[in-house]
Amino acid sequence: MEDRPLGGRGRALRRLATVLLWTALCVPLQALLLLFPGRAKARFPMAYWRGMCWLIGLKLQVVGRPAGHDGTLYVSNHTSWLDILVLGAVLETRFVSKADVASWPGIGVVAKLGRTLFVSRSRTGTGRESNEISATLKGGDSVMLFPEGTTSDGTRVLPFRSSFLSVASEAKQVQPTTVVYDRMGGLPACRRDRPVFAWYGDMETLSHAWYLLRHTGTRATVVFHEAFAPETLPNRKVMASEIGRIVSISAAQLRQNRPVEALAAPARRG
């Protein structure tokens, strides 16, 4: 089996340089927008993330339509730090991230300017952080959750943890979302290609990003499944199971290079 097309260090360096320049241009503008009312501060990050995807050569395919930014809770599988770029490029939303990301050099600044909601996942802060996410939904912003609780190796979707959906009752609607990296070198990605995209275990962020920047012909597909009202399902455990089922089916279809479409919302229960 032939190797995938892999660019040299020159390509990676050019991409890295343009990413840094783009970020340097966008950060002060977003910082300024945060000082004013209105939705510009919520919309501008989409332009930033779209630019990032273009600069690193990552094409995007979207199936279905996002439900909207008015208090929607999006629930997605999680494979990589790339998910933020991809979902941020196609969706006006606020991400939920672990608290230590806020202190990461460079990345922490971008996350804060993107109005990321940071959670410590400690028992002492759980109530306060849940209240903050609930208030965000009630205030009309959408929120993106990754209820696997960690990143996967890209070959499967991990079980969704019901505890992450404790805020679902505050959302106007919940929308299952699937993200799969399905093209490499312009060809369907196979199992051996997953580590190029998937960031998991003890992988280092910088080395993983450098390896990705050397590749060409990459693509991510995002599927927005049918949204549903949170009261459709009796409790968060059932909701986690149903959303996980929908996302897993869609992800498997994409990994197998099969045609994919947005799946129907779970049937009402209880």
Domain boundaries, the chain: 9-255
Better pLDDT: 122 or 137: 137
Q: What is the pLDDT of residues 9-27, one digit of tens each?
A: 899 999 999 999 999 999 9
CATH number of 9-255: 3.40.1130
Q: Which residues of 95-104 are buried (b: 16+ CB within 10 A; e: fewer)?
A: bbbeeebeee
Q: Cα(174)–Cα(267) distance, rounded to whole angstroms? A: 13
pTM, to two decimals: 0.93
Mean pLDDT of the chain: 92
- Tokens representing 13 are 């360096």
Helices 205-213 & 9-33, crossing angle to 10 degrees? 120
DSSP 8-state symbol, 134? H
Please determine, for residue 125, whether its predicted confidence score (pLDDT) is greater than 60. no
What percentage of the chain reaches a pLDDT higher than 90?
Answer: 81
* Rg of the chain taking only CA atoms, in angstroms: 18
pLDDT band at residue 122, thresholds of 50, 70 and 90?
low
Beta partners for 117? 96
Phi, psi of 97 (to 5 degrees): -135, 155
Please determine, for residue 231, whether its predicted confidence score (pLDDT) is greater than 60. yes
pLDDT of residue 2: 44
Phi, psi of 182 (to 5 degrees): -120, 5
- Tokens representing 150 are 């960690």
Q: Cα(210)–Cα(14) distance, rounded to whole angstroms? A: 11
Q: What share of the chain is helix, strand, coil (3-state, %, to 5)?
A: 45, 15, 35
Q: What is the pLDDT of residues 135-160, one digit of tens each?
A: 999 999 999 999 999 999 999 999 99
Query: Which whole number is the average pLDDT over 198-221?
Result: 93
The answer to whether 243 and 227 have CB atoms below 8 angstroms apart is no
Q: Which residue has the tokens 């109530």?
A: 127
The answer to whether 239 and 165 have CB atoms below 8 angstroms apart is yes
